[in-house]
Amino acid sequence: MDSHKSIQNLSIPELDVDAVRKDFPILQTTIHDKPLIYLDNAASSQKPEFVIKTINNYYSYEHSNVHRGIHHLSQQATQQYEQAREKVANFIGANHSHEIIWTRGTTEAINLVAYSWGQNNLKQGDVIIISTCEHHSNIVPWQLICELTGATLRHLPLDSHDKSFNLNKLAEMLTPNTRMIALTHMSNVLGTITDLSKVVELARHNGSLVLADGAQSVPHIPVNVAELGIDFLAFSGHKMLGPTGIGCLYGREELLEDMPPYQGGGDMIETVTMSQSTWNQLPYKFEAGTPNIAGAIGLGAAVDYLEHLGMESVRAHSHKLNSYAISALSEIDQISIYGPRNPSVRGGVFSFNHADIHPHDLGQVLDSKGVAIRAGHHCAQPLMAELGVGSTARASFYIYNTQSEIDELCAAIKSAGEFFSK
Amino acid sequence: MLDELYKEIILDHYKSPRNRGKASKVDFHAHGVNPLCGDDIELTLTVDRDIIEEVKFDGHGCSISQASASILTETLVGLTLDQAHTKIEHVKSLFKGNDIVTEDLGDIEALQGVRKFPVRIKCATLAWNALQLSLQNSATGQSTAYSDE
Ligand SMILES: Cc1ncc(COP(=O)(O)O)c(C=O)c1O
């Protein structure tokens, strides 16, 4: 990932955070009579008015089913829906819009690949490699398909020092039997960004495919699938300003062409007789049934919004907040941060623990001050085991967060410290 | 608002837990985990002729789960196993807000604050659920840990 290089590039316009904040109705609200400080963006982002209005407008005046009607509304809905697909394809640098499959989110996208690709391509002796720091959604689907096909799931251990991926270790693990390397592009616990180009280079040597879990990366850093050379990318709309219930699988055309359907039903067929059916072309082969039309259109609007800001600017803002957060949190003696300290190799996800306060209690005290963070295992139990903790507190930032909110976070942590030591 | 959850009695039990450790003679053993927050509680009991002589707890977790376990150990000593069953049921429904206090419950009353914090009810009930399962298991000869998922 070379996005950090451009951080130094002064031509990147700075985000006008005050203006951005005005676009988010929820940021004008209070929680327990305190202004909301929303730092749980890795779980789900808030939505700008532009996205909310687009969805509202669609349901108010433009709704109809897609691909089915000859009437005006259906054609209009179909057009908007397909335009959203094109926007997403452009956004991630896909060559064709039919390489974008709508799913419910990252989880469904990874399941789609594991089942559809796995069913046709895996056999006993084959190996899938994941890492210790995956979200459960990039672990469990592979466990299930390995059980079905007899393939073996192996995991890339993290560097014991900085918990990054040890790519030398990955190189050692690869054999001609390695069929898929499925890694997170940005850890939802540690924030670490994976050098995917390097992973792809190693994989190509061995004839393995690469799937990237982009749930955390696509919302926060410029991601270009063609430049990275990855085969599959999974991500969720709701973490990138879009609605819940919509997400994407990007897959390289020739791979998707060879994969069998994931679910059967309407829209995914070409012809159906009582004994057999033929499949529709891409991407519809993988989109059985009436899709989440409003979700796709809403995600298209979210992409418009992000592109309007510019992903380089989004990344630069994150970089600035990350540097600030690292030094601010490090000033609190009782806090230990997990993950890299170099803001150039990480995104704005900070997991940490307080020496004297359990994450749950910390989260509770922060909530009473209007500061929303997450406490728990973050759907990454193997990583928690590796870190030797049951859970962590996690603060994660986005375009509307400010340095003064990080100051508030730190003040709230300090006051929690006092509360529990009184 | 926070003071309703973190009453002084709770913080006191959290900071100076009563009966931490392992019972001298283990007649009952209970293990409770809450995978979501990583809370983990181990209870050991010495029972003599149906009467609970000693209760100890060990483990780690948030203040509510630890304080609740500490309070449990004080509450159950001296009760018969039958009385303990009844008490556990009563306390659990109290935490969930299904019951009102009709007797002097001592420190347990301080834990009632969790009712207003639904996600914390599980923390308060963990030790009680674990022990209840262990008592039931021992009646049927099984042994499984209580997992709050
Ligand atoms: C890295 C990562 N992968 C996968 C997911 C799953 O995303 P979703 O629940 O939207 O399918 C998440 C978020 O929860 C995540 O952070």
Q: Is the pLDDT of residue A68 over 80?
A: no
Q: Which of A133, A146, A248, A379 is catalytic?
A: A379
Percent of chain A with pLDDT over 70: 98
- Asked whether the beta carbons of B117 and B5 are under 8 A apart, the reply is yes
**Ligand 1 touching residue A280 (CB < 6 A):** no
- Asked whether the beta carbons of A36 and A27 are under 8 A apart, the reply is yes
| DSSP element (H, E) containing A281 | none
Say what the alpha-carbon torsion angle B77, B81, B84, B89 is, to the nearest 10 degrees: 160
Task: Tell me A280's DSSP state.
Answer: P
Pairwise CB contact (< 8 Å): B37 & A390 = yes
**Of A233-237, A259-263, A267-271, A312-316, the least confident:** A267-271
Residue A290: the pLDDT is 94
Pairwise CB contact (< 8 Å): A377 & B36 = yes
Instruction: Quote the minimal CA–CA distance from B33 to chain A in Å.
Output: 10
Domain boundaries, chain A: 17-31+311-421, 52-308
Give the domains, in start order, of chain B with CATH numbers: 2-147 (3.90.1010.10)
Q: Which atom of ligand 1 is nearest to the CA of A134?
A: 1
- Asked whether the beta carbons of A115 and A145 are under 8 A apart, the reply is yes
Q: Which of A234, A157, A169, A236 is nearest to A199 (CA)?
A: A169
Closest partner residue to B63 (CB to CB) among A358, A368, A377 is: A358
Chain A residues whose CB is inside 8 A of the B149 CB are none
Q: Is the pLDDT of residue B99 over 80?
A: no
Return the residue whose CA atom lies nearest to atom 7 of ligand 1. A106
**Ligand 1 touching residue A41 (CB < 6 A):** no
Q: What mean pLDDT is predicted for residues A249-259?
A: 98
Distance, CA of B11 to CA of A419 (rounded, Å): 10
Residue B2: the pLDDT is 86
Q: Is the pLDDT of residue A100 over 60?
A: yes
ipTM above 0.85, yes or no: yes
B123 touches chain A (CB under 8 A): yes
Residue A9: the pLDDT is 54
Distance, CA of B37 to CA of B119 (rounded, Å): 11
pLDDT tens for A195-217 read 999 999 999 999 999 999 999 99
Rounded to the nearest 5 degrees, what angle is found at the Cα of B125, between the Cα atoms of B124 and B127? 100
Q: Is the pLDDT of residue A10 over 70?
A: no
Q: Is the pLDDT of residue B105 over 60?
A: yes
Catalytic, A379? Answer yes
B1 touches chain A (CB under 8 A): yes
Task: State the helix-helix crossing angle for A311-330 and A293-309, rounded to 10 degrees.
Answer: 80
Q: Is the pLDDT of residue A88 over 60?
A: yes
In which residue are the tokens 């089942």 written?
Answer: A115
Which fold would CATH assign to domain A52-308?
Aspartate Aminotransferase; domain 2 (3.40.640)
Q: Which one is predicted more confidently, B106 or B69?
A: B69
Q: Is the pLDDT of residue A94 over 50?
A: yes
If DSSP states are collapsed to H, E and C, what string results for B73-105? HHHHCCCEHHHHHHHHHHHHHHHHCCCCCCCCC
**Ligand 1 touching residue A245 (CB < 6 A):** no
Q: What mean pLDDT is predicted for residues A111-115?
A: 98
Residue A393: the pLDDT is 97
**Of A25-29, A263-267, A361-365, A413-417, the least confident:** A263-267
Q: Which of residues 2-61 of B touch A (CB under 8 A)?
A: 2, 5-6, 11, 35-40, 60-61
From residue B111, alpha-carbon distances to A307, B14, B71, B73, B114 in Å are 50, 12, 9, 14, 6
- Chain B interface mutation, best of A31, A40, A136, A360, highest count of B Cβ atoms under 10 Å: A360
Q: Return the best residue to mutate from A131, A236, A299, A378 for the ligand 1 pocket (most ligand atoms within 8 A of CB).
A: A236
Alpha helices for A137-286 (secondary structure H): 140-149, 167-173, 196-206, 225-228, 253-258
State CA A120 to chain mean position distance: 26
Chain B residue at shortest CA distance from A380: B36
For the A17-31+311-421 domain, the top CATH level (class) is alpha beta
Within 8 A by CB and 6+ apart from A408, the residues are A37, A369, A371
Q: Is the pLDDT of residue A116 over 80?
A: yes
Chain A residues whose CB is inside 8 A of the B36 CB are 376-377, 391
Count of all residues that appear for chain B in the document: 149
Return the residue whose CA atom lies nearest to atom 9 of ligand 1. A107
Q: Is the pLDDT of residue A6 over 50?
A: no
**Ligand 1 touching residue A106 (CB < 6 A):** yes
Q: pTM for this one?
A: 0.93
pLDDT tens for B43-84 read 999 999 999 999 999 999 999 999 999 999 999 999 999 999
- Asked whether the beta carbons of B88 and B128 are under 8 A apart, the reply is yes
**Of A4-18, A22-36, A267-281, B6-20, the least confident:** A4-18
Can you point out the beta strands (E) in A75-208?
100-103, 127-131, 152-156, 178-184
- Asked whether the beta carbons of A134 and A377 are under 8 A apart, the reply is no
